[in-house]
Amino acid sequence: MRYGVYAILAAAAPALWYVRRFKRALDADISAANSRGGVADPQLRSELLRRLQIGGALCELPLALGALHLMAGGERRSFIAGACVSLALRLSYRPFTAKR
């Protein structure tokens, strides 16, 4: 079980690394929208949405690992831990928490 927790936490590392790039794209989109009077730049917005999709997929890695562990006969604790870590990661990609 101890290694399962380490594996779930290690599966969260790509999403945590990627959030730095996402925050840069989010800040660029917000500043472009502010400079254009509230109208988003279509190119920056499409880039932001693409990065949001990639980040969302990376956020699901701990949940997927917990589900695989559960299907392989592991305990439910690993699945619940994977779900909690995925939820925390998913909340870090919320677009409305950026600096204004």
Domain total of the chain? 1
**What is the extent of the structural domain holding 79?**
2-97
pLDDT per position as a tens digit, 26-56: 888 888 888 888 888 899 889 888 988 888 8
User: How many Cβ atoms from other residues are within 10 Å of residue 73's Cβ?
Assistant: 6
Q: Are 7 and 67 in contact (CB under 8 A)?
A: no
Inter-residue contact 95 to 24 (CB < 8 Å): no
Segment 48-64, tens digit of pLDDT:
889 888 888 999 999 99
d(CA 60, CA 79): 12
**What pTM was computed for the model?**
0.76
